[in-house]
Amino acid sequence: MPITKRSTLTQYLIEERRRYPGADGEFNSLVLDVALACKAISNAVAQGELAGLHGDYVEATTDTSSTNIQGETQKKLDVLSNDYFIRTNEWSGTLAGMASEEMEHPYQIPSQYPRGKYLLVFDPLDGSSNIDVNVSVGSIFSILRCTGTQNADVKEADFLQPGSKQVAAGYALYGPTTMLILTVGRGVVGFTLDPVLGEFMLTHEDIQIPADTQEFAINASNSRFWEPPIKRYIAECLAGKTGPREKEFNMRWIASMVAEAHRILIRGGVFMYPRDTKDPSKPGRLRLLYEANPIGFIIEQAGGRVSTGHEALLEVTPTSLHQRIGVVFGSANEVRRIESYHKAPRTEVFHSPLFGERGLFRE
């Protein structure tokens, strides 16, 4: 196969670095290490049951399924993917520390390796509940600058930075092809893994999300727990051409945030995993640091909008490493509409037969 004229991820990063004459290459090295982890995970996901990688991860000492700090059952690929991220990134001297959805505490760089100025935050395998049914899954990552003392062990507080402080963010999607979506704060680009060359090749430049859409994604099984503004928005969408929106909408739900975000990046749409009343102790379902912030940064860099429904998500200062939050993102005009419904006076009561006692979604 001949070498194409497409840029590789390495070439793209070098071109970006030339914009900053004082850059030392440490950032480029970090992104390439992350990409290497994603290649390894892509290979593992592709092998699946052929390599015995489907099913739950079982603790050798207890002979029972292991759970992570979130209380979720870990899959074999969850644990393997987390290990790939750690082993490919701990040694190079670019990082001061790491934090993962799968680990309770920050990961300290081993003493035999030098420490750098960045922090890496990641969800090693988003959507892993879909692995056994062969639905697209992915990895999400965020890069922050470490504000702590140089060469000291990182603390949880070092990671508690609002999403607006991110240096870069991205995700890898393991689907029919493996893609790497990346922003370094100058728009969003997409790379496709060439399995022959083993390189991520630039295939999507300057990705832009359409401002308007006729597609939404939400877990409708939670409808009885939604806040009134979300019920109002969904009811209006379902009403179609005869309703106040005067157009037809389609609903999608993959239960893999990476796959949902990718669809919206490519063709528009709005994704909602809002705050609800299902568990009052949790102000949302998605993790702020590992999922919402990096995906939110990508969405806004592509011209979309991200919100909690109540406030700008990227301005929220985290209070804990594994904090959860309500999330709405996608086509800007739809997100603004949802925000406006949350800001409407509380005296404005919305009634809909879809959510009534005898409605489509029974209370």
Which residues are documented as binding site for substrate?
126-129, 219
Range list of H helices, 90-210 = 156-159
Element (H, E) at 230: helix 228-238
The annotated binding site is made up of: 101, 123, 125-129, 219, 291
Cβ-based burial of 8 (10 A; exposed 0-12, middle 13-18, buried ≥19): middle
* b/e sequence 59-76, b meaning 16+ C-beta within 10 Å: eeeeeeebebeeeeebbb
Largest CA distance in the chain: 66
d(CA 186, CA 290): 21
CB atoms within 10 A of CB 23: 12
Strand 95-100 and strand 118-126: the pairing is parallel
Angle formed by the axes of helices 9-17 and 26-47, nearest 10°: 160
Q: In whole angstroms, what separates CA 215 from the centre of its chain?
A: 19
Q: Which residues are annotated as part of the binding site for Mg(2+)?
A: 101, 123, 125-126, 291
**Element housing 123 (H / E):** strand 118-126
Closest by CA to 258, choosing from 327, 325, 170, is 170
Q: Which residue has the tokens 């680990």?
A: 103
Which bin fits 134, alpha (ψ -120 to 50), beta or left (φ > 0)?
left
Structure tokens at 120: 């890496």
State the burial class of residue 319 (Cβ atoms within 10 Å of its Cβ: 0-12, 13-18, 19+). Answer: exposed
CA atoms within 13 A on the CB side of 62: 7
Tokens of 52: 């015995």
Residue matched to tokens 């240096």: 167
**Beta strands 305-307 and 327-330: pairing type?**
antiparallel
